[in-house]
Structure 1
């Protein structure tokens, strides 16, 4: 056990102020040590993906997923993100799952963070995302914070005109921006645009710091680990005829509570806890606060006279009627948001009427 794990068990070793004092006790090989230093200093590290069958896996994944994308529409009309990614293909594609659950990678991440790593989400892209720079910490976070990371795998040589990944070295050490910092309360009027309210803040932080972007132009089979708060995004795809095949895997770590800060107001009793499936086991990972379980759903007391069955997290009741829900909750209707999404995201916790 490292000194950081002894004194600061709620801080990832790789991001700890005690990292230097812990490095020799992390059980790392020379190559792993280099990765650790890069990740600590820059917020990312590049490595060759450790799978002898990676070329064959990539070939099969591309063949299997190509029909899922409308690349002709993309080339004719430009980027349309919703059409150009497949989320959680690991559920049906064994090669996607094998990449996500690669034991060499999970073992390395476990050493770097000081807790067992497990994959919980995959994203497969055939082209660049052109996504605004962002921190994953508003989308996927943990308590304690920063126990999340991503691994981006190049499934072909990435051309500079194909919209390479862009990142800002060292930005992972900046403060994580939460709702209260930008004067935002989710409450009941969420528009589900999790990232948009933060984008001007991130851009201003980059300008104020003088941080310079770097482009990741890897060869096929190279991968990049990035820290939870590293600012990154997709650069402009100058040539829409090019592909940029890649797989992103997001990882959490044991003994944390997993939630979405962008949809949470913790001090108002609104904590958007996530039900995370550990891809390696297929089981739901328990939400844990320090050393005790956290209830999956936190909700206010039922209104007098309410006669609704206990809600099931992640599922709308069989008799759920979106129009009736909006009629019973005019503030939600006024916000012009999707009734089902609102109920699943907020209505369950607030014990809102739907009939």
Structure 2
């Protein structure tokens, strides 16, 4: 056990103020040590993805997922609107996507870096750049204790500078995480916008105030990048819509945490969007845990613990977000990746589908 794990068990090793004092106790190889130092200091680290079969997996992924993307429509409408293309949670139906997400060497590395067992919970497969505004993942999927989440971005081809490479701001992972209260937002009443847009002005102001300069990731096929939960990152403008930018993103959580969506939560107002997280490696739900026991077993003191936002309550919290003619079953039929993920169709459309211009009729 490292010094940080002994004294600050609720802080990821690689994000701990006791990182330097614990580094020699983390059981890292020389190459892993370099990754740990980069991640601690900059909020990201680059490495070669450890899979002898990666080239063959990439070709199978491209061949199998290509029919699910409407490239013509994207180049005619989505590119100019800064919208991307993606398939979410293809790990459920595609073994190669799952194998990349559950790569044992990567899981071992992440577990050492964070001090808890890592497990993948979401995959995103992209054929082109996302052009997504810079953001912190911590508003989309966070944990208690916080920062026990990270992402791994894998290049499935050489990435050209005109294909909208990944952009990130070194060191921004050390900034305070912005939650709804920090920007004066209440999730239950803010219906004009959702999730990320309300935070974007604040992030831009922080970048300007600190003078932090962006860096761009132009990797070769098979290179990967780990980023910390609060690192500001996004997709830069794609200058050439004819180019592809094939990639796979895998998001990871860690054992013994509670998993929730801060952008849709007001915990002190009784609104907690607690997540039902599936561990990709086991196919089973990961228990939401507070310190050392499942949340359902945590002793109550005083007022009852706020209940999660259920599907029945969702419409009341976000009225009018889905079109009047929205048909949940039709949406699932038209978007098989959403159906395979088990997501609530209305919630998915509100959070993702509208921005992605997904069909619902």
Shorter-chain TM-score above 0.5: yes
Contact between 1:101 and 1:280, CA under 8 Å: does it hold in 2? yes
- Are 1:11 and 2:8 matched, yes or no? no
Q: SS at 1:284's partner residue?
A: strand
Structure 2 distance, partners of 1:342, 1:44, is 33
Structure 1 distance, partners of 2:207, 2:93, is 39
Structure-2 residue corresponding to 1:218 = 219
Structure 1 distance, partners of 2:10, 2:263, is 21
Contact between 2:117 and 2:254, CA under 8 Å: does it hold in 1? yes
Higher-Rg member (1/2): 1
Structure-1 residue corresponding to 2:198 = 197
Contact between 2:126 and 2:248, CA under 8 Å: does it hold in 1? yes
Structure 1 distance, partners of 2:82, 2:110, is 29
Structure-1 residue corresponding to 2:340 = none
Contact between 1:118 and 1:278, CA under 8 Å: does it hold in 2? yes
Which segments of structure 1 move beyond 3 Å, counting only runs of 4 or more? 80-83, 188-192, 311-317, 335-345
Q: TM-score, normalised by structure 1?
A: 0.85
The runs of 5 or more residues in structure 1 that have no matched partner are 302-310, 318-324, 346-355
Structure-2 residue corresponding to 1:105 = 106
Structure 1 distance, partners of 2:346, 2:189, is 10
Q: SS at 1:111's partner residue?
A: helix
Structure 2 distance, partners of 1:272, 1:312, is 5
Contact between 2:272 and 2:308, CA under 8 Å: does it hold in 1? no
Structure-2 residue corresponding to 1:60 = 60
Deviation, 1:292, is 1.6
Change beyond 3 A, Cα 1:159–1:83:
closer
- Are 1:49 and 2:35 matched, yes or no? no
How many pairs are equivalent?
323
Contact between 1:287 and 1:293, CA under 8 Å: does it hold in 2? yes
- Are 1:184 and 2:211 matched, yes or no? no
Change beyond 3 A, Cα 1:138–1:27:
same
Q: What are the within-5 Å matches in structure 2 for residues 192-341 of structure 1?
A: 193-295=194-296, 333=319, 335-337=320-322
Contact between 1:191 and 1:337, CA under 8 Å: does it hold in 2? no
Structure 1, residues 122-177: CA drift from partner, whole Å, max 9, x if none?
00000000000000000010000000000000000000000000000000000000
Q: SS at 1:97's partner residue?
A: helix
Change beyond 3 A, Cα 1:288–1:338:
farther
Change beyond 3 A, Cα 1:129–1:185:
same
Structure 2 distance, partners of 1:332, 1:281, is 33
Structure 2 distance, partners of 1:95, 1:235, is 27
Structure-1 residue corresponding to 2:163 = 162
Structure 2 distance, partners of 1:231, 1:9, is 25
- Are 1:149 and 2:157 matched, yes or no? no
Change beyond 3 A, Cα 1:166–1:275:
same
Structure-2 residue corresponding to 1:95 = 96
Deviation, 1:338, is 6.3
The runs of 5 or more residues in structure 2 that have no matched partner are 329-343, 349-361
Deviation, 1:190, is 3.7
Deviation, 1:269, is 1.6
Structure 1 distance, partners of 2:19, 2:266, is 31
Change beyond 3 A, Cα 1:287–1:191:
farther
**CA RMSD, Structure 1 to Structure 2 (Å):** 2.7
Contact between 1:122 and 1:248, CA under 8 Å: does it hold in 2? yes
